[in-house]
């Protein structure tokens, strides 16, 4: 019986990929385990093996095709004696699952609709600046490369940043350009290399430490807080620590409790740190360049799901975005939605839906969580009189809790409704697809919260 070979999901966040190369052609016999194609995912180029034996009946997707959705049939395998034509597209394909991921399941994370940048209210670059489309991943890489070219003391260290080209391909190409002195592969030893990086910063370097994900930075949090954040104060201002700790933060997709946590509120609680959590590619680039130039320790919280998203980025040889300046993505009059990082996706989507129902929501991206741009938030709340915060982290001691308290203290008389905090649920992240969805904040949560503060 003919079997369809489906485009495999080869990483937790892969939704589509490029069929880079076929290593077989129609009519070839293949054995189980034989490499039949090379597939480029959002992270790497992977070899794809046949699961079943058979003959390649038809190739449905030509090599070089980009944007092939996971689970799309890419070829048909026929049994001996079977006609290639006898390959019904509708036939069930139970055996075609590649070993790496359960392709029978729907893609785990719904891609937020790709959006052009809203009416550009950003004061971060001059009006009329030419823009180019770029993923968050490319923006981060460009930021590091530009700063490394500009300052010989900027260096990158972390697990798999060099020869492997980055676990999430953020550092791709940097080893080739800057060499192993400046792009340092470390052993898997977070507290050790973090301490070494902090010492190197005191010694006059500007290290960028990549944590493969911030979950692993918990091993190193003593050096981040006790060594990097506090020493300038403890030394009476003698010993600043110019260092950037960056990496993926928050839930990815289906990687369960130990690999799915948003640390924004933890780090934002610490005086001596600066904390950045960008949403768009332009912010990722401008804020990372700013972080590398900052004489203080900066926590730079990225998001694996956002790495592959494309945005418009100013096509300038050099631009930075200052810390402590929120960005108003969407102006509105009925309620203020404050978010940051991946939460912005839900916030903007909710604002779109609310607009259809006649509710005009203003959407603010904090961008940096230390310092926080209270003024922009308060001014907006004083205008709309209602506020909803959106974040992915745990609900207790969240950024939203802090904003609620600040709004209560400084704009109490302007509030027409209690502030509602939309956050992740108060549970460790479950693995099961349905439970994971329930544990995360959703657009529907945000829509419901805004309606609630509007008494609608």
Partner 1 sequence: MAARKTSDKSNVSKDELLKFYREMLLIRRFEEKAGQLYGMGLIGGFCHLYIGQEAVVVGLEACTKDGDKRITSYRDHGHMLACGMDAKGVMAELTGRIGGYSKGKGGSMHMFSKQRHFYGGHGIVGAQVPLGAGLALSDKYKGNDNVTFAYFGDGAANQGQVYETYNMAELWSLPVVFVIENNQYAMGTSLKRSTKSTTLFGRGLAYGISGEQVDGMDVLAVKAAGQKAVAHCRAGNGPYILEMMTYRYRGHSMSDPAKYRTREEVQKMKDEKDAIEHVRDLLIGGGLASEDDLKSIDRDIKAIVNDSAEFAKESPEPDVSELWTDIYA
Residues that bind partner 1 (CB under 8 A): 153, 155, 181, 184, 186-187, 189, 191-205, 222-223, 226-227, 231-242, 271-272, 274, 295-296
Whether 402 is a known active-site residue: answer no
**Based on CB atoms, which residue is closest to partner 1, 79 or 185?**
185
3-state helix, strand, coil in the chain (%, to 5): 30, 25, 45
For β-strands 206-213 and 183-185, DSSP reports them as unpaired
Long-range contacts of residues 176-180, Cβ cutoff 8 Å, at least 24 apart = 177/145, 177/148, 178/148
- Nearest CA among 338, 350, 345, 363 for reference residue 309: 345
**Based on CB atoms, which residue is closest to partner 1, 22 or 216?**
216
The number of beta carbons lying within 10 Å of the beta carbon of residue 113 is: 9
Burial class (CB in 10 A: 0-12, 13-18, 19+), 177: exposed
Distance CA(76)–CA(192), nearest Å, equals 50
Whether 160 is a known active-site residue: answer no
Torsions phi, psi for 289 (to 5 deg)? -65, -40
| Tokens representing residue 166 in the block | 């980055």
What minimum distance in Å lies between the beta carbon of 211 and partner 1? 15
**Based on CB atoms, which residue is closest to partner 1, 92 or 295?**
295
Distance CA(63)–CA(65), nearest Å, equals 5
Q: Quick one: angle between helices 374-384 and 399-411, nearest 10?
A: 60
Annotated catalytic residue within 138, 146, 159, 259? 259
What minimum distance in Å lies between the beta carbon of 431 and partner 1? 29
Distance CA(328)–CA(351), nearest Å, equals 13
What minimum distance in Å lies between the beta carbon of 370 and partner 1? 10
Annotated catalytic residue within 146, 147, 190, 436? 190
Alpha-carbon dihedral angle through residues 399, 405, 407, 413, given to the nearest 10 degrees = 160
Torsions phi, psi for 64 (to 5 deg)? 95, -5
The one-character DSSP state at 181 is T
Instruction: Find the DSSP H helices in 370-431.
Output: 374-384, 399-411
Distance CA(399)–CA(407), nearest Å, equals 12
DSSP SS3 for 222:
helix
Asked whether 134 and 313 are in contact (CB, 8 A), the reply is yes
What minimum distance in Å lies between the beta carbon of 155 and partner 1? 7
What minimum distance in Å lies between the beta carbon of 283 and partner 1? 21
- Nearest CA among 203, 208, 135, 141 for reference residue 176: 141
What minimum distance in Å lies between the beta carbon of 367 and partner 1? 18
User: DSSP labels for 89-101?
Assistant: TTS--TT---TTS
Residues with a catalytic annotation lie at 190, 259
């Amino acid at each position: 019986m003919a079997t369809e070979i489906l485009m495999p999901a080869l990483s937790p966040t892969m939704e589509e990929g490029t069929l880079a190369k076929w290593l077989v052609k129609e009519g070839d016999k293949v054995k189980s385990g034989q490499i039949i194609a090379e597939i480029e995912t959002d992270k790497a180029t992977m070899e794809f093996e046949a699961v079943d034996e058979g003959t390649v009946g038809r190739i449905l997707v030509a090599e070089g095709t980009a944007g092939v959705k996971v689970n799309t049939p890419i070829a048909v395998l026929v049994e001996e004696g079977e006609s290639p034509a006898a390959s019904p597209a509708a036939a069930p394909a139970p055996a075609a699952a590649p070993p790496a991921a359960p392709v029978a399941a729907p893609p785990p994370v719904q891609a937020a609709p790709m959006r052009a940048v809203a009416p550009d209210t950003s004061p971060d670059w001059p009006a009329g600046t030419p823009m180019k489309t770029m993923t968050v991943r490319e923006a981060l890489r460009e930021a590091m490369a530009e700063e490394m070219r500009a300052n010989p003391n900027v260096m990158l260290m972390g697990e798999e940043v060099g020869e492997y080209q980055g676990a999430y391909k953020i550092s791709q190409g940097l080893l080739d350009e800057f060499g192993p002195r400046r792009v340092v592969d470390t052993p898997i030893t977070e507290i050790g290399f973090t301490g070494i990086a902090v010492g190197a910063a005191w010694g006059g370097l500007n290290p960028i430490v990549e944590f493969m994900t911030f979950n692993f930075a918990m091993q190193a949090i003593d050096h981040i807080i006790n060594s990097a954040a506090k020493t300038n104060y403890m030394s009476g201002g003698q010993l600043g620590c110019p260092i950037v700790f960056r990496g993926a933060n928050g839930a990815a997709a289906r990687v369960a409790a130990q690999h799915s946590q948003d640390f924004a509120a933890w780090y934002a609680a610490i005086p001596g740190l600066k904390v950045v959590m960008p949403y768009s590619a332009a912010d990722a680039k401008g804020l990372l360049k700013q972080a590398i130039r900052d004489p203080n320790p900066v926590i730079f919280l990225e998001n694996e799901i956002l790495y592959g998203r494309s945005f418009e980025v100013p096509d300038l040889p050099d631009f930075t975005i200052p810390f402590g300046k929120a960005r108003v993505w969407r102006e509105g009059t009925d309620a203020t939605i404050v978010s940051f990082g991946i939460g912005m996706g839900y916030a903007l989507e909710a604002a779109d839906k609310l607009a259809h129902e006649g509710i005009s929501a203003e959407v603010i991206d904090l961008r940096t969580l230390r310092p926080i741009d209270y003024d922009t938030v308060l001014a907006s709340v004083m205008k709309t009189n209602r506020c909803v915060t959106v974040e992915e982290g745990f609900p207790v001691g969240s950024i939203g809790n802090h904003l609620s308290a600040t709004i209560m203290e400084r704009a109490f008389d302007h509030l027409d409704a209690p502030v509602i905090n939309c956050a992740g649920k108060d549970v460790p992240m479950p693995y099961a697809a349905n439970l994971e969805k329930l544990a995360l904040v959703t657009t529907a949560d945000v829509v419901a919260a805004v309606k609630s503060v509007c008494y609608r």
